[in-house]
Structure 1
């Protein structure tokens, strides 16, 4: 049985063309990407040892080996951090059968005050599981009619993978799905992320499990939303990590004038209702 660490190394190896590293073309390969032989040579380890890591038979590679693999795969800083994280959890237990204690849902008063100051802008506080913990009226306006906030405990990850409306709301649904699956690896606790993954896997199928195991670093570009009221919104995202709380504050800003005008219209509508 493999491990997330082995899956990530294998996925990165498969995505690299040997020519991009100055290696000779060795002819037709049974699988795409870099051969184990070439990666092992670049990292200074044996092919047999690399095979054990990829297959999950060695779950505790040394720091030196992990750094050598990161160098050999030419990982960027974000990918190196992810590799170190996967190494840390490589020897962990299997998926929990009962739901663990939920991550902290309380939002600090100072963060709530920050949200208040951002009104009527678009902002939300979440954790890496996708739980929506607090939001501005602007966020509610932009997501109205989509079903995202309908649940008693709204969760963006669950919404993306299990609610068909999400595939219409997010113009680039596949990119958002990549983001939510990847963020589970950064969840408040390993047990919580495993529980949510186990819950989603049967209902979301390969749309979820393939992304979770691929470890694709999301690009997090401009967010394009198909609002039920008609306009397509283009939003930039600025994220403030609330590290001590295992939460994050995300602020959404118009990426173009048409979006700014549409958001202003939502705000006027909200004020007229209230």
Structure 2
């Protein structure tokens, strides 16, 4: 007996033409769409395991397998959400555990005081999930027009993978995306990371999920920004770990005179203060 999850995967496999995914045409076939071998190879799983999922003999695919199948089938965000829902009602492990609470987002007063001392420099307090928990007024003034700070709780990881403006802002978008995905493995905790990954993967798509399990340590070179004002910014990043709170204090320093002058213009003459 099949399952809704297996039926959906099989139906999507039958509906995808190999040439649409850059696969060679293998001649006439008895059924349309991708062969199980092609889909299994793209998803990084065995043909036997894929067969068990499609036939309803495996009802507990992991988060990684569900995301890999979504990537391999090139599902759009709505289809990804539906796939995860079907995994849930099928009884999959990917949603069987209760979601942990979000990580600590309070910044200690002494850290806020330290942040204030960094004015009029560019600095922020963040966690490994990408939440921007506090920032200097200068950072707000410079980044305010990029869309990064629009959310009630700004999150750099979500912005990088889901906001089209991020690809315009970050000159080295691929490198920044690698950094944000890698940092999820470093905390605040395994449970928080799994919760955030499960929440983000359906909307962020393959650009996110294929990076999460790569385990490639990013180089973290100079951060290059194409600011909406037209300025080209090059910034060094200095990071201080606040290990007891699983947070970081990040300071952005101009890497050249042109960037220093541009930052001075962008932050303007306003009186600046740290923002939490």
TM-score normalised by length of structure 1: 0.63
Q: Any conservation in 2 of the 1:96–1:191 contact (CA below 8 Å)?
A: no
Aligned partners of 1:179, 1:259: CA distance in 2, in Å? 23
Structure 2 residue aligned with 1:252: 252
* Secondary structure, counterpart of 1:168 in structure 2: helix
Structure 2 residue aligned with 1:77: none
Structure 2 residue aligned with 1:179: 179
Q: Which has the larger displacement, 129-138 or 260-269?
A: 260-269
Displaced runs of 4 or more, over 6 A? none
Q: 1:98 to 1:160 in 2, by over 3 A?
A: farther
Q: Any conservation in 1 of the 2:142–2:267 contact (CA below 8 Å)?
A: no
Give the Å deviation of 1:177. 0.3
Structure 2 residue aligned with 1:212: 212
Give the Å deviation of 1:94. 5.5
* Secondary structure, counterpart of 1:218 in structure 2: coil
Aligned partners of 1:256, 1:174: CA distance in 2, in Å? 23
Q: 1:135 to 1:185 in 2, by over 3 A?
A: same
Q: 1:271 to 1:107 in 2, by over 3 A?
A: closer
How is 1:201-240 mapped onto 2 (pairs within 5 angstroms)? Answer: 201-240=201-240
Give the Å deviation of 1:270. 3.4
- Unaligned runs of 5+ residues in structure 1 are 1-92
Structure 1 residue aligned with 2:22: none
Give the Å deviation of 1:202. 1.3
Q: Any conservation in 2 of the 1:225–1:232 contact (CA below 8 Å)?
A: yes
In the alignment of these two chains, the number of paired residues is 181
When the two chains are superposed, the root-mean-square deviation of aligned CA atoms in Å is 1.9
Q: 1:210 to 1:107 in 2, by over 3 A?
A: same
Q: Any conservation in 2 of the 1:169–1:226 contact (CA below 8 Å)?
A: yes
* Secondary structure, counterpart of 2:147 in structure 1: coil
TM-score normalised by length of structure 2: 0.63
Q: 1:96 to 1:154 in 2, by over 3 A?
A: farther
